[in-house]
Amino acid sequence: MNDRTALVTGANKGIGKEIARQLVAEGFTVHVGSRDADRGRRAVQEIGGDARLLVLDVTDPDSIATAAARVERLDVLVNNAGIMVDGKTAPEADLDSFRRTYETNVFGVLAVTNAFLPALRRSAAPRIVNVSSGTASLTWSADPEHQFAVAAGSAAAYRSSKTALNALTLFSAQTLAAEGFKVNALAPGLRATDLNARAAASDGDPAEGAAGAVRLALLPDTGPTGGFFSWDGTPAAW
């Protein structure tokens, strides 16, 4: 009998919703993390199967604690919830935009992961997937021939938050490796979501990016940990 469980944060729409849908198709009971209960309920109905609503605001300690208390065991945690406040460069940006971005994209991931570690430790094969971005790559951003360098430092708050998330992924993987955890970061590619205007105008299929997250969620014991991967499974540059 398949009793695998997963939690996907920010799963009421976009890539997160598609990750939840694909994990349900793989036989998981999936906790659909949603800050808004009504939107979460609609997502659960649309996903169907063993999808369950879990009201969760990754920036609210009380919400995180309440959600964690409802989940006894967890095999997979996908930290997908993320925001992009604006596309400003660092000299143009204000501190508030950075704080708001990091509150969700970095601090929220750390808070949620730590809160659900007891449940993950009850799994025989715990997996953590952090949804990052190819724009987080310092190597690619520093390469004048790469598309991300052409942006000339735009979206500094968002991109730097995802770079920090990559570092958090590596450090968590190193610390938890002895316990059998696999912790990896994913660059899902540009997808048609409401992250920003460019994404909204994209024809990139969210399902394709989600498949990369599911691949990392299903890694065997011999699989990698502490890595940064593109949606197609190839390594991404740090």
Please indicate whether residue 162 is annotated as part of the active site: yes
How far is residue 108 CA from its own chain's centroid?
11
Distance of alpha carbon 64 from alpha carbon 122, whole angstroms: 19
In the chain, alpha helices (H): 14-25, 37-47, 61-69, 95-102, 108-120, 138-142, 147-150, 156-176, 197-200, 206-217
* Catalytic residue from among 88, 102, 158, 182: 158
Nearest to 160 by CA among 233, 225, 84: 84
Nearest to 7 by CA among 171, 178, 126: 126
Distance of alpha carbon 138 from alpha carbon 211, whole angstroms: 24
* CB atoms inside a 10 Å sphere around CB 179: 11
Which token pair is 121? 């430790």
Residue 160's identity, in one-letter code, is S
At residue 130, the 3 state secondary structure works out as strand
Strands (E), the chain: 5-8, 29-34, 51-55, 76-79, 127-131, 182-187, 228-230
* Catalytic residue from among 13, 88, 102, 162: 162
Interhelix angle 14-25/206-217, nearest 10 degrees? 50
| Residues marked as catalytic | 158, 162
